[in-house]
Chain A
Amino acid sequence: MESSPRVQKGVIESCKAGDEKAFAEIVLAYQRKVFNIALRILGNMEEAKDLAQEVFLSVFQSIKDLREEAKFEPWLTQITLNHCRNRWKYLKRRRYFNSDSLDDPIETEDGSMPMQIYDLSDNPEIHAEKKMIRQWIQSGLLELKEEQRELIVLRDLQGLSYEEIGKVFSLPEGTVKSKIHRARMDLKEILERSSH
């Protein structure tokens, strides 16, 4: 089932006509989504902020080419993913992710500690460390293949339906389901491996 659009059709039409107010409305409605997709795919706040801003600049420049206003959300997600892919390549070329490994200790406010979350899953103190788990999951995501990372972010972190994801990736729903399952299983393996 598709989620209801966050902006009215008229706002998109006004933005197409170059109305900056309408554009600001779109930014405010979707900035959280775009920023969080970028954050989970790239794993860095600053990069995600910069990228999300670039996404909205692209939206403002090319929204006139959008034929159907109803398809604005998948279109915006596609733009975000494209920007993420380009930025990922750029950062990888500069070995940006080299130091980010699950084997490295996680930096917490209380200092560094080894990753043994799976084994210590019953420990309430560790569970309390939401931030740490988030970082651990984030590190696992970064070790996935690009498409798998995107699928998991859209499905499990953004809560998009299989149908919506299918539209973004131009894939049948069944294919999306099996791909997401494979991605989850791979993430489980990665996290498991890193916990030993």
Chain B
Amino acid sequence: MECEKVRDRFSSLLEGDLNHLDEKIVREHLGSCSECQKDFERFEKTVRWLQSVEEAEVPESFLSGIYKKMEDRKRSGLTAEKVRPVWLNYLVQLKLPIQAVAMVAIVFLALYLTKMMPFETPSSKDVEQTKVSEPEVKMEAKLVTKEEEKEKKAEAPTMEARRLKESEKAGVPAAEAGKRAKQSIAKEQVFLAAKHPQEIVLRITDREKALAQLRELVRQSGGEIVREESNIVLASLPTASFAKFEKELAGLDSLKKEDQMVFQREAMEAKGVPLGVKREEAEEKDKELAKPMTDKEKRISIRILLFQE
């Protein structure tokens, strides 16, 4: 028998697990191979030493130590449960890993944010805040809400025509330009729908005169009249020139009284920004006219409500 096979049988030999024949072969090998014999002696000694290791006595107060630990656990467990909110206790009982809970929370947060973003419109509370106290203006505001949809529809073709003109100027092929224009118009419509249009109530004495002045003012501001009705004028203006337009519009008033102009700037009032501050900001925007702007920010729609004295 080979040395390696003999060595594999050391444990069996020592424990008397080998059958008679195997034991005889192994013992014969050990008698003839001094290396294996030496190795077996060391092996035997190791096992004997292992088995001679006496058991250690259990330290004193072992059981009382267990009871003490039990008490400590109960106390700390109770404290932890008191500090923990009820729902967290429930989760702990369920043995949910904290990572899983965090993951679910993150997913819900992400879903909530992505769902909420497109519907980010001023709440009814905001709208109420912007309402002007005078009864006349309230009436006008009602009229405005009825006309809103129609006006939005009217805006679109005007924008489209302008974009087509621009693309023609730039030398873009007509079909491609039309396609791009449609895309950008769609974007703009979405933007305008999301953005609340500016509303200005203007008290006038002579309607025709006021309308003529208004048209001229819009033209000077680089904008255009989109629609004219009996008491509502819808204009489209470059955003940058809005502040200037607003000032000029105030000057149109024949009575020249401050309280005759009521500006509904819902976003402004909702945020609590003082009017003056907003105007200053708008003026600064005027200065930045030269800066490139995105299509979305380029124009603003203004609804001017004419109120005859």
By a beta-carbon cutoff of 8 Å, the part of chain A in contact with chain B is 24, 27-28, 31-32, 35-36, 39-40, 45, 49, 52-54, 56-57, 60, 118, 121, 130, 133-134, 137-138, 152, 156-157, 159, 177, 180-181, 184-185, 187-188, 191-192
Contacts and interface: CB of A to CB of B under 8 A. Distances in A.
Contacts of B11: 177, 180-181, 184
Given A53-B65, A53-B66, A184-B11, A32 B51 contact: no
Given A53-B69, A177-B11, A181-B11, A32 B49 contact: no
Q: Most chain-A CB neighbours within 10 Å: which of B45, B50, B51?
A: B50
B42 interface: yes
B128 interface: no
Interface in B43-60: 43, 45-47, 49-59
22 contacts: A31-B62, A32-B55, A35-B58, A36-B56, A39-B56, A49-B62, A53-B65, A57-B69, A137-B50, A156-B47, A156-B50, A177-B11, A180-B11, A181-B10, A184-B11, A184-B43, A184-B46, A184-B50, A185-B43, A188-B43, A188-B46, A192-B42
B203 to A, nearest CB: 81
A191 B8 CA distance: 19
Contacts of B43: 184-185, 188
Contacts of A159: 51
B49 A28 contact: no
Range of interface residues on B (Cβ < 8 Å): 20 to 34
A32 B50 contact: no
A56 B64 CA distance: 12
Given A32-B55, A32-B58, A185-B43, A157 B63 contact: no
A118 to B, nearest CB: 7
Contacts of A188: 42-43, 46
Contacts of B17: 177
Contacts of A40: 53
A52 B55 CA distance: 14
Contact of A185 (B7, B63, B69): B7
A181 B46 contact: no
A184 B17 CA distance: 16
Nearest to B73: A57
B69 A49 contact: no
Nearest to A20: B67
A52 B56 CA distance: 13
A130 B55 CA distance: 12
A49 B42 contact: no
B256 to A, nearest CB: 83
B194 to A, nearest CB: 56
A130 B69 CA distance: 34
Contact of B70 (A31, A35, A57, A121): A57
Given A35-B56, A157-B50, 20 more contacts: A28-B63, A32-B55, A35-B58, A36-B56, A40-B53, A49-B58, A49-B62, A53-B66, A57-B69, A130-B52, A133-B49, A134-B53, A156-B50, A157-B53, A181-B11, A181-B12, A184-B43, A184-B50, A185-B10, A187-B46
Contact of B50 (A31, A52, A187, A192): A187
* The 6 residue pairs across chains A and B that have the minimum distance between CB atoms: A181-B11, A156-B50, A188-B46, A36-B55, A35-B58, A53-B66
Given A32-B58, A45-B56, A177-B11, A157 B66 contact: no
